[in-house]
Structure 1
Amino acid sequence: MAADIENLGRRGFLTGRLAPARNAIRPPWSRNETLAAACTGCGACAEACPQAIVRLGAGQWPQIDFSRNDCTFCGRCAEACPEPVFDRAIPAFPHVALIGEACFAARGVVCQSCGDACPAGAIRFRPRLGGPALPSLAADRCTGCGACIATCPADSIAVMSPIAEPAHV
């Protein structure tokens, strides 16, 4: 818990809000640093999301819940925000999908739901002898939208952050 507490300046001191959790998935075009500096926790981004995947989490910080739906990159969360939290000049998400060991195909069960759901075509299936085709993720094509996460019946897909954050000038 103490690792989540950071100096947030006057706003953090006066509101008593903890720093955004580092492991939470943030709305597209936002990062923990901009949330800590500018987010007021008003919830306008969550109300504007037509996919209902943006919600206010601990400390009233917006976060993404990919368990029911994916991000369509409509930009309504960014448009609704009255503060300078969103930067559409950076990549929408700093993460890509990661397919875990609980994947049905890896356990011998035919399943290609993640590949069927991926709008970017980042998940392909490699044939193998003696079992169903295995999913393979092309990280350079993955947009981080979460379509595969919402669809996976084995809950074996998560996100990881291999994308380097751009330097802000």
Structure 2
Amino acid sequence: MIAHTVRSSWQTILADLSLILFMVTASALANTSDGPLGNDHDDPDAPRHAAQPPPPRPPAPAPSPIVPSARADAVGVWRPAPGAPPLGRWLAEVARDPRLRLTITVHYAPGGRAAALDQAAMLDRAAGARADTARIVIEPGLPAGANAVVGFDGAVDGGGMSGTQLAVHGA
């Protein structure tokens, strides 16, 4: 027996694909009203349909969720305690590098939000000039209290932060 194999050249395959592409394109253009194959009216007296208003825009996407700001490992931690230096003096001794960012965190027990805000404002004033770029976090949590942390988690692009950032959680 002699076996015949069906052979096709690449030109035949390319021609088949071209025809398929042509048919798909013609079908898509025939289904549009404003395309070159759409509903053309040769009669100038024929009634023309008014332009359809554009479809309503989809609603705006929901705002992205609030994510916590980046925090690096602490270079130094300050807590108010008997015998501890005042925050301003501690910052002058420990946080001399201007790339270090100060983060003041105040936790409060239920019903202590107003006192926590006052304590954060007092620590902000005590930090002096370093508070200009401080991150201040006030959030519910136990044990209630405050701390100040310095770390290399400030702006890395050299742009610097503009002003104190205040975030109140659980408001």
Q: TM-score range by the shorter chain?
A: under 0.3
TM-score (norm 2): 0.26
Larger radius of gyration: 2
